[in-house]
Amino acid sequence: MKTRGWRADLYRLTLGLPLRYSLVFGATVLSGLLFVGPAFSQPTGAELTRLAEQGENLYRQKCLACHSIGEGDRATGPDLAGVTERRDQEWLIDFIEDPAKMVAAGDPIAIQLLAKFNNLPMPSLRLDADQMEALLIYLAHPEEAAHHEQQQLVSEAVGNVTRGEQLYAGSLAMTNGGSPCIACHALSGLGSAGAANYGPDLSGLYTDYEAEGVMAVLESLAFPGMEAIYASRPLTETERLDLTAYFAQVAEQQAPPASSLAGPILLGVVIVFAIVALMGLRRFKGARQPLVDQVRKQRGMRA
């Protein structure tokens, strides 16, 4: 009643309508500034360079494993040169935010891309709005950050396959305490031991990503599951090289695929239950009740 009171007063003073109009107008202008404003303000000069550089850093961290700019499509992903021209901005933002969702929603371009690149889904990069803006600016103006010297990602050094295998299987501990790959991933050639299915099967990893890509994935931790485990316990350069070498060897050997333990375990459980059930058949079923039941039956009484 109180609020109604002061509003009623205002209307009585014929100030109500002007106040309402001014409030609506003010809100419209403010929201326009907030939402539409940034779209109109293209950064220029030093701001543009800063954003492009930030974007390049993100690109090297998150995209380089699978993509290139101006070097042609790779097996793992399309070349990103001029991508901002090819696709409209909204689509790009949606796609980078959650590629899986786009595919699931039936976006024709997303589905086509997935089919084209060996069905390798792109992980969600989980960028915030600022990072997204910086990345898009970099992709639109890669030349703005050109003073960043592109360093060779894969060094000339070659990893040790044996050490790689040991690191993968966990018989050799990671320097920074990261867990061995075998804990989550399946890999052919390791029998039932290498049949974990928390992460994807890595048997085809090298074929899909090649040395550069594998190194980059192991460093950049583009996949959220990997990031949670290795962000605070990063793999060292040597470890990455060793693992890459090992993956290369696995890809070459075409060892028999990892066989899951689920079947044998299920069979074992069934056997144990069967034994217990068989033993249960001999279980003492009571002495008194059968006697009573027997007599009741003889006399035709209800049991």
Partner 1 sequence: MDIRAQVSSVFHLDKCIGCHTCSIACKNLWTDRRGNEYMWWNNVETKPGTGYPTKWEDQEKYRGGWERVGSQLRLKQGGKASTIGKIFHNPDLPTMDDYYEPFTFKYADLINAPAGTDQPTARPISMVSGKPMKIEAGPNWDDDLSGSTVYAANDPGVIELSEEQQQQLFAIEKMVMFHLPRICNHCTNAACVASCPSGAIYKRGEDGIVLINQDKCRGWRMCVSACPYKKTYYGWATGKSEKCILCYPRQEAGEAPGCFHSCVGRIRYLGVLLYDADKIEATAMKADGELAAAQREMILDPFDPEVIKAAREGGLADQIIKAAQASPVYKFVKEWGIALPLHPEFRTLPMLFYVPPLLPVLSSENRGTQKISNDFFTSLEQARLPLKYLAGMFSGGNEEEVKAVYRRLIAVRIQRRAETVGDLSEAELLNARELSGLDRDALDAIFRMTSLTRIKERIVVPPMLREQAIEAGMDPEEYKQEMGFGSRKAPKRRW
Contacting positions for partner 1 (CB under 8 A): 276, 279-280, 282-289, 291-292, 295
Q: Which is nearer to partner 1, 36 or 276 (CB)?
A: 276
Q: Which residue's CB is nearer to partner 1, number 171 or number 294? A: 294
Of the chain, the end-to-end C-alpha distance in Å amounts to 74
103, two tokens: 């595919």
Alpha carbons 15 and 276: distance in angstroms, whole number = 87
Q: Residue 41 is which amino acid?
A: S
Angle of CA points 164, 186, 228, to nearest 5°: 80
What does residue 66 show for φ and ψ, rounded to 5 degrees? -120, -20
Q: Name the residue nearer to partner 1 (CB basis): 35 or 284.
A: 284
The whole-angstrom separation of Cα 78 and Cα 109 is: 12
Identify any residues that bridge with 244 across adjacent strands, giving them in sequence order. none
Q: What is the b/e burial string over 177-189, where b = at least 16 CB atoms within 10 angstroms of the residue's CB?
A: ebebbbebbbbbe
Q: Judged by CB, which is closer to partner 1: 13, or 279?
A: 279
Minimum distance of partner 1 from residue 199's CB (angstroms): 37
Please state the closest distance from residue 285 (CB atom) to partner 1, in A: 8
Residue 189 near residue 250 (C-beta atoms within 8 A): yes
Cα(47)–Cα(53) distance, rounded to whole angstroms?
Answer: 10
| Residue 282: CB minimum distance to partner 1, A | 5
Tokens (6 digits) for 85: 């021209």
At which residue do the structure tokens 């901005």 appear? 89
**Between residues 115 and 279, which has the closer beta carbon with respect to partner 1?**
279
CB 269, min distance to partner 1, A = 16
In the complex, least distance from residue 296 CB atom to partner 1, rounded to whole angstroms = 9
Q: Are 250 and 188 in contact (CB under 8 A)?
A: yes
Shortest distance, position 294 Cβ to partner 1, whole Å:
8
Smaller CB separation from partner 1, 30 or 301? 301
Q: How far is the CB of 283 from partner 1 (least distance, A)?
A: 4
CB closer to partner 1 out of 232 and 289 = 289
